[in-house]
Amino acid sequence: MSGHVVALARGMRELVLAEAAESERIRTLTSAIVDEMWATGLMSAFNPVAAGGGEPSFAEMIETWIEMAWQDGSFGWIGIANLPSTFAAATYLSDEGFAEVFTAHNNRVAMGGQFFPNGQGSAVDGGYKLSGSWSFGSGIGHSQYVAAGFFPMDNGEMRWVSEGVPEMQVAVVPRDEISFNDGWYVQGLKGTGSYDYSAQDVFVPQGRTFGLFVRDPRRGSSPATRMGLMPVTAAGHASWALGVAKSMLDDVAELAATKYRMSDMASLASRPTFQKGLAHHVAAWRAARLLVLDAFTTAEAAVNSGAELTPTLRADMRAAAVYATDTARSCAEWAHLVAGTSSIREGSRLERAFRDMYTGTQHAFISEKVAIDSAQIWLGIIEDQFGL
């Protein structure tokens, strides 16, 4: 199926461009885009086959996300929010939970939310009483279910997996049981519906929960299902940043032929400093993309051969994602600067992409700490970091 999902995403270019401004205005993806994602099969494409997906390789997931983010930052962000969320739930939920969430709805399930354990689940008969507050629940504007990370609690005490490592779970909660606290008034990624939300003593049956770091699939046979949510999420963040940066580099290159800066008689494209800058940043972008593909496909191949997903392989993937994000941000900064006033006019993809880049790259998942943790594994200072 190589290239199939990328082609589905590419087929949405005209619609996404036409709807981008309206998505920003209403602060969540328009129904036209969401409906087309369902009509094409893109919304469920990353799912296990049992949940209506095609189990694409990491290379195909990465290229799909780059394409989506190239079209529009908010559309790309939905790609790295909704698609991994249903991938994880469909892969790791129990048979009972899968039947309730996916089978009962003919696999037409969109899911968003925050997987970090900002909630607590008090263990009760048959499940948990969930309470907590979560921020930036990307993609929940159009989701039927909301994911919420939590710490399981037994009589007020945390459960410990190992020394210093608490158990962390993800609850899958129907939309109408969640309280939305819409604070999504932001600089960029405005069209993602990334609302804050909360729950207070909401009962979640055991079957609608799964471990945050689980790598034992109930469904699906692709290596990704045996690698867990962290690598898929990391690949998404890296690909998203690369896609947004590529849109800016492409837009600046197109603009350069007709762009004249005030008091300059030569077009931007004819200036040697611009040519050198373009060569450098396009090359940096290509190198970052290849690093991401190499890190993730190397780990994927190891797992596919039956080898262990070692801490080093996990560190390699996470460090590649941080590096690609940093490189993409520097490409965006250069493109914004050389475009001059063309990059500040509201409504252009260039202006929107710049705002999106500096919003999306604030995410903790691709922070400096992740790079430091990865380096410490390479150096042998620590054996493992469970969060990678």
pTM: 0.95
- Most confident of the following: 37-51, 179-193, 340-354: 37-51
| pLDDT at 346 (0 to 100) | 84
CB atoms within 10 A of CB 191: 30
3-state secondary structure of 202: strand
Residue 262 reports pLDDT greater than 60:
no
Q: What is the pLDDT of residues 135-158, one digit of tens each?
A: 989 999 999 999 999 999 999 999
pLDDT-based confidence at residue 264 (cuts at 50, 70, 90): low
Rounded to an integer, the average pLDDT of 361-369 is 89
| pLDDT at 269 (0 to 100) | 85
Residue 263 reports pLDDT greater than 80:
no
In angstroms, the CA 33 to CA 18 distance is 10
CB atoms within 10 A of CB 197: 24
Which helix (H) or strand (E) element contains residue 261? none
- Say how many residues make up the chain: 388
| pLDDT at 1 (0 to 100) | 46
In angstroms, the CA 268 to CA 282 distance is 16
Domains and CATH numbers, the chain: 4-92 (1.10.540.10), 112-211 (2.40.110.10), 228-379 (1.20.140.10)
Q: Which residues contact 40 (CB under 8 A, 6 or more apart)?
A: 8, 11, 12
